[in-house]
Amino acid sequence: MPPRFAFTIHARDGAARCGEIAMQRGTIRTPAFMPVGTAATVKGLRAAEVKAAGADIILGNTYHLMLRPGAERIARLGGLHSFMGWDGPILTDSGGYQVMSLSALTKRSEEGVAFASHLDGSRHLLSPERSIEIQRLLGSDIVMAFDELIALPAAREDMEAAMHRSMRWAARSRAAFDGGGDHAARAAIFGIQQGGLDQRLRAESASLLRAIGFDGYAIGGLAVGEGQEAMFSVLDYATGQLPDDAPRYLMGVGKPDDIVGAVLRGVDMFDCVLPTRSGRNGQAFTHDGPINIRNARMAEDLSRIDADCPCPVCHPATGASRAYLHHLVKSHEMLGAMLMTQHNIGFYQALMAGLRTAITEARLGEFAAGFLARYRGQPAA
């Protein structure tokens, strides 16, 4: 039987690592980008299309699924994998970010977060124990500890208080996970480092998480308004504060150039709604930077979105022209959003494959410099 959870680093190039996470439902190649399947769907794509794009793992959302259709209902129907037709690993977030950002009338306490649903105003309490219970009912393969997230910039005392509460919640999350019987025997749990932009707070958070012990470690509390430069400055030290022999997951990131910069700094896993959300709104990611397919200059452009992209939408013979996509999106045809999303997911997965190959071949610096220069429209060196 495959292992419950085993992380192996096959190659290093500077701080970057290329490896694999072996789990019972499959192997995750790292660095990995996880498409976001918020409500049991990567919006606009069937599960087979997500897998064909190269994704080994997807992300499900605790907050949204607990509200609709309900974690207990999904459990009765056989679990999230069966429900949505995805047979690979699924990571579920804890729901903490959505509680803070989407819910009305939240009240935080040591017990957890009481909130009103953004759907119907119904009242709920999400605690570390309830978050882990929901993730267990969903049948998650990688469970995230429940934490407290605050927007940046923030006062140091606010960052410190949120970090310490998150660490207390991390211990409760670990205990709740360990009490999960068969689920705990086949799944994994990640802790989440907090501390905002403060190096000492992040070091203390990492030390406390190490003492509790987790299968992997997320870098949380970033991509919440601080900007890329500040985020990279944190990653310059945060990855080194976490165990070298465990995966490092940067939550909610991000744009292609964010991902390249984070891989250079030792991050192994990513997730973000950008490729799907942008696709639905007419934005495509390309090697030459993002483009707006709604732009009038696309109306008679018979070229593909990106001639260097291997996705089906960019296939020279059977793909779709920019002109056709422009028409679909401007006409609000659902196929437009589907094809744009398929391209963006394919582009992200091709980027991750390129990063893995470059690390393995010890040429990541060259690959990253070339990608970033072209993506940002800079002249070739």
Tell me the three state secondary structure of residue 75. Answer: helix
Name the CA radius of gyration of the chain, rounded: 20
- Protein fold of 31-271: TIM Barrel (3.20.20)
pLDDT of res. 380:
57
Residue 99 tokens, joined = 């509680």
pLDDT tens column, 68-87: 999 999 999 999 999 999 99
Strands 58-61 and 90-93: parallel
pLDDT band at 25 (very low <50, low <70, confident <90, very high): very high
Is residue 183 predicted with pLDDT exceeding 70? yes
Output the CA–CA distances (angstroms, integers) from residue 273 to 50, 70, 134, 138, 231, in the order listed: 14, 22, 22, 20, 18
Is residue 379 predicted with pLDDT exceeding 70? no
Give Dmax (Cα) for the chain: 60
Q: At what angle are helices 334-360 and 364-375 packed, to 10 degrees?
A: 150
The structure's pTM equals 0.97
pLDDT tens column, 320-347: 999 999 999 999 999 999 999 999 999 9
- b/e map of 100-115 (b: 16 or more CB within 10 Å)? beebeeeeeeeebbbb
Provide the mean pLDDT of the chain: 96
Catalytic entry in 93, 215, 258, 268: 93
pLDDT tens column, 96-110: 888 777 766 788 999
Catalytic entry in 215, 258, 271, 306: 271
Residues 287 and 60: their CA atoms lie apart, in Å, by 28
Active-site residue flag, 158 = no
Is residue 381 predicted with pLDDT exceeding 60? no
Tell me the three state secondary structure of residue 198. Answer: coil
Calculate the CA 6 to chain-centre distance. 20
3-state SS string for 103-164: CEEEEECCCCEEEECCCCCCEEEECHHHHHHHHHHHCCCEEECCCCCCCCCCCHHHHHHHHH
Residues 368 and 354: their CA atoms lie apart, in Å, by 10
Residue closest to 19 by CA, chosen among 269, 264, 259: 269
Residue closest to 24 by CA, chosen among 49, 56, 1: 1
Is residue 369 predicted with pLDDT exceeding 90? yes
| Domain regions of the chain by residue span | 31-271, 280-375
- b/e map of 11-48 (b: 16 or more CB within 10 Å)? bbbeebbbbbbebebebbbbbbbbbbbbebbbbbbebe
Active-site residue flag, 93 = yes
pLDDT of res. 106:
86
User: Which segment of 149-163, 261-275, 351-365 scores lowest on mean pLDDT?
Assistant: 149-163
Q: Average pLDDT of 231-235?
A: 98
Calculate the CA 184 to chain-centre distance. 22
- Reported as type and span, the H/E element at residue 234 is helix 228-241
Residue closest to 308 by CA, chosen among 291, 286, 324, 290: 286
- Site of tokens 């900007």: 227
Let me know the angle formed at the C-alpha of 60 by 87 and 286, rounded to the nearest 5 degrees. 90
Backbone angles phi, psi at 285, to 5 degrees: -90, 135
CB-CB neighbours of 333 under 10 Å: 13
